[in-house]
Structure 1
Amino acid sequence: MPHLKKVVIPPLWKSWEVRAQKSGMRSKVYSLNGDEYKGQWLDNKKHGKGIQFYKKDSSIYEGEWKYGKRDGYGTYSILLPETKEYVKKYIGDWKDGKKHGYGKLTYSDKASYEGNWIGDKRSGWGKMQYDRGDIYEGEWLDDKCHGQGTLLLANENCYEGTWKEGKKHGYGKFYYVNKGVLYEGSWLDGFAKSGTLSDFGRDEAPMPPAYPIPKLHLLDKASVSIEVA
């Protein structure tokens, strides 16, 4: 008697599931929440290059994806309700769905940050321009000025030195350009702690002090003795 081989026919839903798996290039895929995606897929996840439209706020991401998350280089744009035009909000690197690497974020017409990011936060070296006209360039950590940096104020006064958690902290110089005065010394939690004041550019300053700052010197050098251990 011949041996009969049993043929197993997979259920119809199984073939439908295989056909529904997204891999490669797809023209456009719609989500239940109204979002739209056009681009490359891998194992049913956005992977490669693609464009995502978010219905909730009408924003658009165009760039690279990795296993369903923004990863690589990409541009995030928002829709301005007044003009109905798209403007680029962030241009740069992404990792695991967050700003990570080098990129530029525009906060408003006058405020922007360009530099390094780690996990959606300004970290590393970067330049921040504020709405009021101040400019900070230097080191960042967890969205705050931290390390070495320079702050140029809108009135042209300037601080050069170290920062800690967004405040002047450690050694630094503050140039009061409008007065022609320089403070050089230590800072603690944003306040000058101990240091020296001296004149610089006094003749060009628009609001110099009434009297020049006297230079420090010893009245009686002979009375000073130095012991060497």
Structure 2
Amino acid sequence: MNNRTVNQCFQKAAKSKSLTEQWRSQTEKSGMRHTIYALNGDHYKGQWLNNKKHGYGTQTWKKRGAMYEGWWKCGRPHGCGIYSVLDPETNDYSKQYDGSWKEGKKHGHGRHFYTDSDVYEGEWSHGERSGVGQMWHSNGDYYEGEWFNDVTHGHGILRHQNGNWYDGDWKDGKKCGSGRFFYKDTNQLYEGSWLNGSPRHGSISDVEGNEEPTPGKFEFPGDLPDPARHGSQRHTDVTQNSPPISHTDDIQNSEGEAPVDCSEMDEALV
């Protein structure tokens, strides 16, 4: 093979590489794209960066019957967003979680609908209730206070539907430490220590006349909504509140962060 033939081979390889790079750049998803469909029926419409969902967009999972609309970062929900599930009877989407996300998990302030009547609103950490929050139960009970690792932990107040209440310490989801419990039916107040949900050492006093005690008031950081509004706000069209999407590759998320290199981050399922 002479030098001329060798040079022609190198030139052909270089030209082929250039065409490959051009094709790759043209097929790479960055910026605003129309709806992208997967073979399994899932689809996404929104912004991309380096073939990752990045910016504002809506993802629908067909088999799971779920939808997420909100901000993404490197293929994961990150920022403010709404996760909804499909009601097979009405064929409408109902909110399951509405709030802040971090790297695909609930993180920050958010509201979770376990059912229409079982609702938690408050702080989250890496997908679990942690911090301060309030929980409305379907049986009429209401808790406000501290949480850790998805259970009541710290100081909190539990008001029962029948008029009983507990104001005191919690540990791992159970009454533990110092606390007061008022028995509405007998009009008695217990004050003392608790262990694993049961009273241990304390005193019981009779409450006479109109001197019925009341639990303390838990102070939340910031305003939290009235519990009466929760159920009526679950069934909504989450697509109605979409912000305008700019057709640009210079994408920022809800926290104002500049585009980042997403090449080493795997996509996460909500």
TM over 0.5: yes
Q: Secondary structure at the match of 1:18?
A: helix
Task: Give how far 1:134 is off.
Answer: 0.9
Change in 2 beyond 3 A, CA 1:202/1:180: farther
| Aligned position for 2:16 | 10
From 76, 85, 97, the equivalent of 1:90 is 97
Mapped partners of 1:202, 1:17: distance in 2 = 81
Equivalent residue number for residue 222 of structure 2: none
Equivalent in 169, 180, 189 of residue 196 of structure 2:
189
> Aligned letter for 1:10?
S
Partner of 2:205: 198
Partner of 1:220: none
CA drift of 1:24 comes to 0.4
- What CA deviation, in whole Å up to 9, does each residue of 1:43-80 have, x standing for no partner? 11000000001111221100000000000000011111
Q: Residue 156 in 1 paired to residue 163 in 2? A: yes
Inter-partner Cα distance in structure 1 for 2:210 and 2:180: 20
State yes or no: 1:147 paired with 2:159: no
In the comparison of the two structures, how many residue pairs are matched?
A: 202
Query: Which runs of 5 or more structure 1 residues have no equivalent in the other structure?
Result: 206-229
SS at match of 1:19: helix
Change over 3 Å in CA distance of 1:65–1:197 after alignment to 2: same
Q: TM-score, normalised by structure 1?
A: 0.83
Deviation at 1:202, TM superposition (A): 4.8
Structure 1 residue 30 displacement after superposition: 1.6
Equivalent residue number for residue 46 of structure 2: 39
Q: Offset of 1:13 from its aligned partner?
A: 3.7
TM-score (norm 2): 0.71
Q: How does 1:1-229 map to 2 (within 5 A)?
A: 7=11, 8-11=14-17, 12-202=19-209
Q: What residue is the counterpart of 2:217 in the other structure?
A: none
1:158 CA displacement: 0.2
Higher RCO (CA-CA < 8 Å; seq separation 6+):
2
Q: Which is helix-richer, 1 or 2?
A: 2
Task: Measure, in 1, the Cα distance between the counterparts of 2:57 and 2:208.
Answer: 56
The amino acid that maps onto 1:177 is: K
Partners of 1:37 and 1:49 in 2: CA distance: 11
Query: Offset of 1:81 from its aligned partner?
Result: 0.8
Residues 136 and 151 in structure 1, CA contact (< 8 A), matched pair in contact too: yes
Q: Once structures 1 and 2 are overlaid, which stretch shifts more, 63-72 or 78-87?
A: 78-87
Output the CA distance in 2 between the equivalents of 1:85 and 1:31: 22
* Aligned position for 2:264: none
Q: Which segments of 5 or more consecutive residues in structure 2 lack a partner in the other structure?
A: 1-6, 213-270
More strand by share: 1
**Counterparts of 1:203 and 1:73 in 2: how far apart (Å)?**
47
Check the 8 A contact 1:181/1:202 in 2, yes or no: no
CA distance in 2, matches of 1:20, 1:52: 20
Once residues 178 and 211 of structure 2 are traced to their aligned partners in structure 1, the CA distance between those partners, rounded to angstroms, is 26
Counterparts of 1:122 and 1:201, CA distance in 2:
39
Distance, in Å, in 1 between the alignment partners of 2:142 and 2:31 is 45
Amino acid corresponding to residue 85 of structure 1 in structure 2: D
1:152-208: CA deviation from partner (whole Å, max 9, x where unpaired)? 011010000000000000000001122210000000111100101112245688xxx
